[in-house]
Amino acid sequence: MVIAWLFLLQFAAALGSPCEERSGAWLTDRDEFLRTDEPKYLQGLHVACFWQQDHKLLLEAHMNGVREEKPLQAEFESKALNEDWRSFRKALQSKMRFTKATNEWGNFHLKQPFGIFAESGHRLGSSAEVLAAGLVLIMEGGQWFWPPVRVGYLRRLQGTPYQLETQSVQPVVFRVRGFLREEECEVIIAMGKSNMSESPVVPMDIHKPDLDAKEYRTSTQARISSSESPLLQELDLRISNLTRVPVSHNEEVQVLRYRLGEFYAAHNDNFDPEFYQTSVDYIDKGHRNRLLTVFWYLTNVEKGGETNFPRANALPQPQDVHSCKDGLKVRPEVGTVVFWYSLRPNGNNDPNGLHSGCPVEDGQKWSANYWVWNKPRSFEISMPDAEVDDEYSGEMSVATEEVQAANNITVVFDNRHSYPMYLFWKPPDRDQEAFMGVVKPKESISMLTFPGHVWHLRAGADQSSQLIGAQEINDRPSQQVFLLSPEEAYEPSAGEL
């Protein structure tokens, strides 16, 4: 019997890693990604398993959080076992072939080092720790990111009574019921009540200077610092344990009251450097950003007041930011929190994080926003692994390319005009277009697309603005460049600029 077991174990090791089963809990099936306009994986989240055999260190990794039939396999020199952290990380990064350059933001020296975590969520800091852990999660964006696995997936948080329940894969949304006790909710509401003022909106560059915040947001709010309340200090720790992101990364709690009819139109919580040029240095050109939002429901609401994710279920960017009709709707429920990611695991924007507070139709809604950044809030705190970061870089993540769909085409829109152009993807079966980005004057933007896709160029960021041009992507070649030159006979009217 013992001999048979030994034989089986050896056989298993010869076939592949002894970690297959362990990886399972961290992988999301490709079919769970419903969008057709985005890659079907979790950018920059890698599940890697290490084991030793015949004095060799072997690695098997599922790249970008999806189950691969043939995971990446690599072998390290035996001396890697004794190597310092910097060399180990470097070896790992080159075996797994990922780089910092995963978006157009540049300034990759401002992007934080990738993070290596045990399954417990603890950040690892030596090759010995990695070997002891066996299975690790590597986050290119530097911070822990919960893999969604599939809608309805339940994950118990070890050592706590809480369960993460996946609500959506794109965006990545989780719900935790009973996270706050009712008495705690009452205390927080009381603290908020004594200090309410109208909720502001952080204006984007493209908003008119006379932006009327009331068109977008009608709640009242109070910001309360944790230093004012032992309860909030305890919640900081509870939430940090939930998100696996240190307390030093959170903003003050923002307590919100929505009365009858009050709402917050659809918006993203993170700051896309494209639209926040005026504060681009503060946000490290995009690399310092809001990573996730933990939203607290402090009361039940008789009717309405849901949190709506209009891009969930593969829906396009909505034209009407006030509509709460489509997408995922999460009902307020006292003591429940939902949290969602505004960035992808590699630190890029995730436009799917678009969300709104639907109008309260009956009763009153008390809730709170708790924003967690990908870097510490104090500029004095240095990032983990900063001293060992090698400034690794490159054109594009090779690992990322490998898992992308075939037939892809890189298209470049080169804007020779002196005004910005707004790029929309026109789905074949719908009138509603998906806003994909801005081509700034005298700059170009590149996008991954597919043959047959139709792109619209417009004068403004909403679909009703003037159509300047349309471009259908043809079969060949795999890189297509469209020059948007002034001769192309388009003169914007004064009102559009």
Torsions phi, psi for 400 (to 5 deg): -65, -45
Residue 122 binds ligand NAG (CB under 6 A): yes
Nearest to 98 by CA among 348, 396, 387, 350: 396
53/479 with CB nearer ligand NAG: 479
Residue 121 binds ligand NAG (CB under 6 A): yes
Count of Cβ atoms closer than 10 Å to residue 128 Cβ: 13
Question: Interface with ligand NAG by CB under 6 A: which range of 58-66, 269-277, 401-409, 460-468?
Answer: 401-409
Count of Cβ atoms closer than 10 Å to residue 94 Cβ: 13
Asked if 440 and 420 count as a contact pair (C-beta separation under 8 A), the reply is yes
Residue 322 binds ligand NAG (CB under 6 A): no
Tell which one of 406, 477, 491, 493 touches ligand NAG (CB under 6 A). Answer: 406
- For CA atoms 70, 43, 340, 112, the dihedral sign is positive
Asked if 164 and 338 count as a contact pair (C-beta separation under 8 A), the reply is no
Helix (H, G, I), strand (E, B) or coil at 118: strand
Residue 36 binds ligand NAG (CB under 6 A): no
Helices (H), 2-116: 2-15, 20-24, 85-96
Distance of closest approach, residue 124 Cβ to ligand NAG, in angstroms: 12
- Which position's Cβ is nearest ligand NAG? 159
159/477 with CB nearer ligand NAG: 159
Distance of closest approach, residue 64 Cβ to ligand NAG, in angstroms: 12
Distance of closest approach, residue 238 Cβ to ligand NAG, in angstroms: 9
Distance of closest approach, residue 241 Cβ to ligand NAG, in angstroms: 4
Question: Interface with ligand NAG by CB under 6 A: which range of 200-208, 278-286, 404-412, 457-465?
Answer: 404-412
Cis amide linkage into residue 477, ω under 30° from 0: yes
Residue 429: exposure state from Cβ atoms within 10 A (0-12, 13-18, ≥19): exposed
Distance of closest approach, residue 404 Cβ to ligand NAG, in angstroms: 3
Residues 243-272 that bind ligand NAG (CB under 6 A): 244
Tell which one of 226, 313, 319, 408 touches ligand NAG (CB under 6 A). Answer: 408
Question: Interface with ligand NAG by CB under 6 A: which range of 124-132, 135-143, 278-286, 405-413?
Answer: 405-413
**What is each CA distance from 329 to 97, 163, 491, in whole angstroms?**
38, 19, 42
Helix (H, G, I), strand (E, B) or coil at 456: strand
Residue 404 binds ligand NAG (CB under 6 A): yes
Question: Interface with ligand NAG by CB under 6 A: which range of 11-19, 115-123, 161-169, 307-315?
Answer: 115-123
Question: Interface with ligand NAG by CB under 6 A: which range of 75-83, 116-124, 170-178, 465-473?
Answer: 116-124
Residue 193 binds ligand NAG (CB under 6 A): no
Nearest to 64 by CA among 154, 142, 166, 137: 137
- Rounded to whole angstroms, the Cα distance separating 84 from 310 reads 46
Tell which one of 195, 277, 278, 485 touches ligand NAG (CB under 6 A). Answer: 195
Residue where the block lists tokens 């006790």:
181
Nearest to 220 by CA among 192, 239, 248: 192
Residues 75-114 as x/- pattern, contact with ligand NAG by CB under 6 A: ----------------------------------------
Question: Interface with ligand NAG by CB under 6 A: which range of 1-9, 44-52, 85-93, 398-406?
Answer: 398-406
Distance of closest approach, residue 356 Cβ to ligand NAG, in angstroms: 26
Cα 121 to the center of its chain, rounded Å:
17
Residue 474 binds ligand NAG (CB under 6 A): no
Question: Interface with ligand NAG by CB under 6 A: which range of 13-21, 373-381, 406-414, 419-427?
Answer: 406-414
Those residues with Cβ within 8 angstroms of residue 209's Cβ, 6 or more apart along the chain or in another chain: none
**What is each CA distance from 333 to 34, 177, 185, 296, 365, in whole angstroms?**
28, 8, 11, 9, 10
215/228 with CB nearer ligand NAG: 228
97/440 with CB nearer ligand NAG: 97
Distance of closest approach, residue 401 Cβ to ligand NAG, in angstroms: 4
Residue 120 binds ligand NAG (CB under 6 A): yes
Helix (H, G, I), strand (E, B) or coil at 98: coil
Distance of closest approach, residue 381 Cβ to ligand NAG, in angstroms: 18
Strands of the sheet containing 45-53, edge to edge, are: 72-76, 56-62, 45-53, 135-139, 115-118
**Structural tokens at position 5:** 């077991």
Distance of closest approach, residue 313 Cβ to ligand NAG, in angstroms: 25
Determine the longest span between alpha carbons in the chain, in angstroms: 85
Q: Taking CA 244 as the corner, what is the angle to CA 280 and CA 29, rounded to the nearest 5 degrees?
A: 90
Tell which one of 205, 215, 228, 387 touches ligand NAG (CB under 6 A). Answer: 228
Question: Interface with ligand NAG by CB under 6 A: which range of 29-37, 68-76, 158-166, 469-477?
Answer: 158-166
Total residues at interface with ligand NAG (CB under 6 A): 18
241/444 with CB nearer ligand NAG: 241
Which residues are at the interface with ligand NAG (CB under 6 A)? 120-122, 158-160, 191, 195, 222, 224, 228, 241, 244, 401, 404, 406-408
